[in-house]
Amino acid sequence: MNQRQGRASADPPAPADDDPANQDMAGFIAGDEDLDEDEAAPDADAPDASLPALPFTAIDFHAGAEGEGKVGAAVIEALVKRLPNAPGVYRMMNAAGDVLYVGKARSLKKRVSQYAQGRFHTNRIGRMVRDTATMEFVTTRTEVEALLLEANLIKRLRPRYNTLLRDDKSFPYILLTGDHAAPGIFKHRGARSRKGDYFGPFASAGAVGRTINSLQRAFLLRTCTDSVFESRTRPCLLYQIKRCSGPCTGEVSPQAYAELVHEAKDFLSGRSQNVKSQISAQMQEAAEDLDFERAAIYRDRLAALSHVQSHQGINPQGVDEADVFAIHQDGGQNCIQVFFFRTGQNWGNRAYFPKADPALEAAEVLSSFLAQFYDDKPCPRCVFLSHKVEEQELLERALGTRAGRKVSVSVPQRGEKKDLVDHASQNAREALARRLAETSTQARLLEGLAQTFGLEKAPRRIEVYDNSHIMGTNAVGAMVVAGPEGFVKGQYRKFNIRSTEITPGDDFGMMKEVMERRFSRLVREHGEADESNDEAFPAWPDVILIDGGAGQMSAVRQILDGLGVTERVTAIGVAKGQDRDAGRERFFMLGRQPFSLPVRDPVLYFVQRLRDEAHRFAIGSHRARRKKEMVRSPLDEIDGIGPGRKRALLLHFGTAKAVSRAAMEDLQAVAGISESVARKVYQHFHEK
């Protein structure tokens, strides 16, 4: 994880990006990713429970069968007898094998024996011990290794009683490519495998996009792909509007373009004042030569650079590379605000709302959050905190071990650094206040929904379904999920309609397939699950909203009746009203006549918002599938034709249509195409 002055080298890639734990979780965290339900849902039999690969050797320790048949403190007491006085990590599991808690200890024997004594500080710990049916242990060489392993396992297993970092998306970077004669500037997220200079992290993709737009105007660097660059015969629109210097067609010399790239690197590396001084001097020189057109170009570049810095808010003079963390607690919830400072510039901030026991102090939540936060992210040289954490020195050593250099963790008491922490704390308070207000409003809407539709209690999970297609082609079903905290985008699912028996455009048939696939999987994986746990987000929906009227509801009830889950789920159809006007929707429920709600009813607005979100997600999924279908080649359907052979055929013949018309002898003349492969290609296009 080499990171210097906000810039990471692409050679070698960062180890954290190859962590299998991160790959396993990638599909479940993304907000608006198009996920197919049959592929996206977690598999209980998948090897998630195995230990992740870490940059040290962990020794697996099995405690034996002394605790077999016992639960709670009794099973823990039986297991303690064989535990060593060594650092390590322990996992507490219930009878079903679910991991309840992951913890680390300087001495496993001393730490775990405390649970066996039966004296607990909080009800949370008492419930956790009572639910424990077995434990697993891993000894490590040092306490630092135990801390790193604990953070990795918490993020991977997401135990019920741990403080959980809910948002685990990677941060975007700005990439200046280094593998092309004319380097380009791009937004990058993920493994840093491409050669070049990486600048970041930025707090959001929007911050990266705004910065790149301004840098285009300031340094006139290209943003086109290498393939587009090679195929250009005349300058593109970006050159015409002075957003690119046109290296693709030789509008700028290689030496002049290299100078622009060098200036961009200097600016992103923190030497912004030097760059601005140079451009200002060039502008003055052009004006003295009466070359006002060239002077105007330099003027616009200076304005673009000022625009970048004006959008960065606070730009501290004495802080070159640091992350600032501030936590605020209120209403049983936590908000941690993170600010990123690289090369003396503010590259954005993000608010996190980790799930934690309300009884935990702010410092405890912050300590657990930090270990998880840097499990797969590069760590800066300085970390500033709003609260002093208990194991601050241990955390420093752990972060330094992962970063490969010294990392300082401190709580500033005065000066500019204290101002940065105070600013982050203010943002944390404001963000949590907004969230509490939104949660309160959401709770009132859910209560209103329960009263309006005759539910026993406010629903904790609502699923909304919609279909999207064009004349039956590229049909997609979509499911969005909402709960007490609003939309839960990590639970969204898409369903590519697979059945060949459905008539194209048959909405009823498509809804049947979606319902059958969704609820048969729920029955299979969560049919016997106990949903009485008030802390976990349930897998089963309390309410499903169907975008449609009586016909769609009939199809839905047929599937629910066949699976025997009609009594478990309340199904509501939402049909567009007369003239398809919003506010005239008709609602369909089992045992009630179709009805409408008053035009200004808040519950009606709430249902409309849920339906519109499902509509948006369905259309987006359909468009993505249609776009993918449009760029498919007939060569993709031929068994044995991979990317290499496909590229060779297209380079030789030009188009897939020309390949389809080629004779056997012509196909065999292509480099890399043997006689057997040529026969496959020829027979594919000449079956008749």
H or E element that contains 267: helix 254-268
**Is 243 within a domain?**
yes
pLDDT in the model for residue 371: 84
Q: Are residues 498 and 597 in the same domain?
A: yes
pLDDT in the model for residue 56: 46
Q: Are residues 90 and 239 in the same domain?
A: no
**Is 609 within a domain?**
yes
Q: What is the 3-state secondary structure (H, E, C) of 373-437?
A: HCCCCCCCCEEEECCCCCCHHHHHHHHHHHHCCCCEEECCCCHHHHHHHHHHHHHHHHHHHHHHH
What CATH number did the domain enclosing 417 receive?
3.30.420
Which of the pair, 363 or 120, is modelled with greater confidence? 363
Q: Are residues 583 and 484 in the same domain?
A: yes
What is the layout of strands, in order, in the sheet containing 333-342?
A: 345-352, 333-342, 322-330, 382-385, 408-410
What CATH number did the domain enclosing 144 receive?
3.40.1440.10
Q: Are residues 339 and 386 in the same domain?
A: yes
Q: What DSSP string runs through 295-337?
A: HHHHHHHHHHHHHHHHTT----SS-SSEEEEEEEEETTEEEEE
**Is 443 within a domain?**
no
Q: Are residues 244 and 120 in the same domain?
A: no
Q: Are residues 597 and 622 in the same domain?
A: yes
pLDDT in the model for residue 12: 35
State the pLDDT confidence band at 386, using cuts at 50, 70 and 90.
Answer: very high
State how many domains the chain has. Answer: 5
Work out the mean pLDDT of the chain and round it to a whole number.
79
| 41-88 tens-digit pLDDT | 333 333 344 444 444 444 445 444 554 556 778 888 888 888 888 899
pLDDT in the model for residue 102: 92
Dihedral sign from CA coordinates of 75, 79, 85, 88 = negative
State the pLDDT confidence band at 328, using cuts at 50, 70 and 90.
Answer: very high
State the pLDDT confidence band at 534, using cuts at 50, 70 and 90.
Answer: low
Q: Is residue 687 pLDDT above 70, yes or no?
A: no
Q: Is residue 563 pLDDT above 80, yes or no?
A: yes
Domain end position, chosen among 597, 613, 629: 629
Predicted structure pTM score: 0.66
State the pLDDT confidence band at 384, using cuts at 50, 70 and 90.
Answer: very high
Q: Is residue 492 pLDDT above 70, yes or no?
A: yes
**Is 261 within a domain?**
yes
Q: Are residues 132 and 178 in the same domain?
A: no
Is residue 270 classed as helix, strand or coil in its secondary structure?
coil
The arithmetic mean of pLDDT across residues 329-340, rounded, is 89
**Is 396 within a domain?**
yes
* Domain that includes residue 673, residue range: 634-685
Q: Are residues 516 and 553 in the same domain?
A: yes
The arithmetic mean of pLDDT across residues 586-599, rounded, is 88
Separation between Cα atoms, residue 385 and residue 323, nearest integer Å: 9
Q: Are residues 664 and 625 in the same domain?
A: no
Which of the pair, 436 or 64, is modelled with greater confidence? 436
What is the percent of the chain where pLDDT is above 70?
81
State the pLDDT confidence band at 306, using cuts at 50, 70 and 90.
Answer: low
The arithmetic mean of pLDDT across residues 399-405, rounded, is 85
| 637-661 tens-digit pLDDT | 787 788 788 888 888 887 777 888 8
**Is 675 within a domain?**
yes
| 157-200 tens-digit pLDDT | 888 888 887 765 678 888 999 888 899 999 888 777 889 888 87
Q: Are residues 213 and 145 in the same domain?
A: no
Residues in the chain: 688
User: Helical H runs in 61-201?
Assistant: 73-80, 108-116, 123-131, 143-157
Q: Is residue 467 pLDDT above 60, yes or no?
A: yes
pLDDT in the model for residue 41: 38
**Is 523 within a domain?**
yes
| 410-422 tens-digit pLDDT | 999 988 889 899 9
Q: Is residue 4 pLDDT above 50, yes or no?
A: no
Separation between Cα atoms, residue 257 and residue 448, nearest integer Å: 62
Q: Are residues 122 and 221 in the same domain?
A: no
Single-letter residue type at 353 = F
What CATH number did the domain enclosing 573 receive?
3.30.420.340
Separation between Cα atoms, residue 633 and residue 656, nearest integer Å: 7
pLDDT in the model for residue 475: 84
**Is 524 within a domain?**
yes
Q: Are residues 134 and 63 in the same domain?
A: yes
Which of the pair, 269 or 12, is modelled with greater confidence? 269
User: For residue 387, which of 402, 403, 369, 399 has the smallest C-alpha distance?
Assistant: 369
pLDDT in the model for residue 69: 55
